[in-house]
Amino acid sequence: MHDLVIRAGTVVDGSGRAPFTADIAIDNGIITTVGRVNEPARRALDADGLLVTPGFVDVHTHYDGQANWDPLLTPSCWHGVTTAVMGNCGVGFAPMQRDRREFLIEMMEGVEDIPGSVLAEGVDWDWESFPEYLDALESKPRIMDLGAQLPHAALRYYVMGERGAKREAANEQDLTRMAMLTEQALRAGALGLTTSRTLVHKTARGEYVPNYGAAARELQALAAGVKRAGCGVLQLLSDFSEIDAEFDLLCDWIAASGGRPLSFTLVQRWETPQQWRRLLERIEQAQARGMQVRGQVAPRAIGLILGLQATLHPFMTKPSYLEIAELPIAERVARMRDPAVRARILAEPFDALPGRIPAFIVEVLARLDRVYALGDPPDYEPPPQASVAARAACAGRDPLELMYDLLLARDGRELLFAPAANYNDGDYEATLAMLRHPHTVVGLGDGGAHCGSICDGGFPTYLLTHWTRDRTRGQRLSIEFAVNRYTRAPAELIGLRDRGLLAPGMKADVNIINHADLRLTPPVIVHDLPAGGRRLMQTAQGYVATIVSGEVVIENDRHTGALPGKLLRGGRAGPRI
């Protein structure tokens, strides 16, 4: 008798091959049969007419703080994710001097928009070394498997203190110690080493993160630690302001690490709209030389969510708005609908309070042709005529007045979407090309981060709904291709070869999905973080079951109470397929 049998499902196995009808038997947390299963089971799930896929593998999250207080790792659990990997972009919380943790909190608050008060209250801070951090994580139950990577910024600050924070050059002693600690972290179970080379990443005080601009010799020293450990992957975010010089540096980094796999954030940027094409060319050249380089791409535009309850909106610095900003949302909306208050807010200049106008307001106001009402259901590929500027012109209205009224819709809960990447041409043709490239994987959902300004943890559901079923403004993706991009491809990238594929001997992480009725709900503001912190939350409808290690953890979009997830220590070998 089997532990669990999934019967008569439309299997999309993660390999990229076409869907087929089959039963799946699971025993002791492992898939034992994919085909015809005649034997009885302690539990059987009828999947006739439903998709059966591997659990999704999300290699780009920032649950470094949330993993300490949230066993469900929401929102990822609501979107079929069964393995999450954190510690990306060089930021995180280990290693850490206990009396210096405030700097790491400010860094995560600035880079990933996680309120410092939330982190101060919600995290245990009961570790110093990276191995101790892994021990602390391992002691907590959770719904899915979780892996951690070693963040360069935390490592540099731990070794160099204020010298590291001020981005002074590392001396030989610093480099030797960083290399030793890198090897230690990987041997203890870190899945990789991550860094950041972008101007965007700053602390809550507006200072660049410690690892920004790190010299090549420092990267080489870290790579030496990776090479000695003989395991792990490399990950980074870079501006690639000088593409060839930067890419050559990365290739040298790979070589110094002993040829470990590397992935980096690949997007279409506003300021350099063709950069992604050249980066794909360099990836192809590196692959031809035997280097395992991948681009991590997002399945939709990456952009800011604006709203009265969100972190940001265009009227937040107006003096008359600030007078009512702390009122409950219902009362605030009522006041904003008062004609006199409305007139005052609209009439006041945006820079009435010197030094308070955030850069994003300047950018949003300069491109109202690229700001859209998100709506319900949320539309992440809106046509140009749906922009605030186009709608205002069509109606003969001032676009700022229209934006003001849009923010008051749905009782002040309407959200505006301002794409910052992957939407230069007002469609997803560039995104489609990046998704289809053979050397990319889907990632960048940033679960656990950007609490009040970005909400992309639902990427798996969006990929399955928009790209394989709903898209009308261009070509779609096949269901087998889309599933591969969020299962087997990222699992292989990160070195977890025991999952991401429905085959005998593989880990029994499975989704059963009502694809026809699968729906991504609009983001909403919830106050469920420690210290009463707020965040954007996006859920889904249509996950009939999500299974982790053979246990049903989500059933009909609800948590069953099961918490079989484990801390991942290092890569995993898979069966011979």
Q: Please give the pLDDT value at position 451.
A: 93
Same domain membership, residue 328 and residue 438: no
User: Can you spell out the DSSP letters for 284-314?
Assistant: HHHHHTT--EEEEE-SS-EEEEE-SSSS--T
Same domain membership, residue 338 and residue 210: no
Same domain membership, residue 264 and residue 187: yes
**Residue 395: domain span:** 305-421
- Residue 207: inside a domain, yes or no? yes
In tens, the pLDDT along 400-428 reads 999 999 999 999 999 999 999 999 999 99
Same domain membership, residue 404 and residue 267: no
Q: Please give the pLDDT value at position 362.
A: 75
Specify whether the CB–CB gap between 148 and 190 falls below 8 A.
yes
Q: How far is CA 97 from the centre of its chain?
A: 27
Same domain membership, residue 123 and residue 266: yes
In tens, the pLDDT along 379-403 reads 999 999 999 999 999 999 999 999 9
Mean pLDDT of 4-23: 98
Mean pLDDT of 227-248: 97
Same domain membership, residue 413 and residue 441: no
Of 403, 421, 439, the last residue of a domain is 421
Mean pLDDT of 350-372: 77
- Residue 529: inside a domain, yes or no? no
Same domain membership, residue 201 and residue 111: yes
Proportion of the chain above pLDDT 90, given as a percent: 93
Same domain membership, residue 346 and residue 380: yes
In tens, the pLDDT along 512-531 reads 999 999 999 999 999 999 99
Same domain membership, residue 445 and residue 346: no
- Residue 110: inside a domain, yes or no? yes
Residue 207: give its domain's CATH number: 3.20.20.140
Same domain membership, residue 60 and residue 131: yes
- Residue 82: inside a domain, yes or no? yes
- Residue 503: inside a domain, yes or no? no
Q: Please give the pLDDT value at position 356.
A: 64
- Residue 413: inside a domain, yes or no? yes
- Residue 165: inside a domain, yes or no? yes
- Cα separation of 447 and 476, whole Å? 25
Model confidence at 350, in pLDDT bands (50, 70, 90)? Answer: confident
Nearest to 417 by CA among 440, 388, 449: 388
Same domain membership, residue 402 and residue 349: yes
Model confidence at 249, in pLDDT bands (50, 70, 90)? Answer: very high
Same domain membership, residue 389 and residue 250: no
Q: Is the pLDDT of residue 476 over 90?
A: yes
Q: Is the pLDDT of residue 454 over 80?
A: yes
Specify whether the CB–CB gap between 128 and 97 falls below 8 A.
yes
**The whole model's pTM is what?**
0.96
Nearest to 439 by CA among 263, 231, 267: 263
Count of domains forming the chain: 2
- Residue 40: inside a domain, yes or no? no
Q: Please give the pLDDT value at position 355.
A: 62
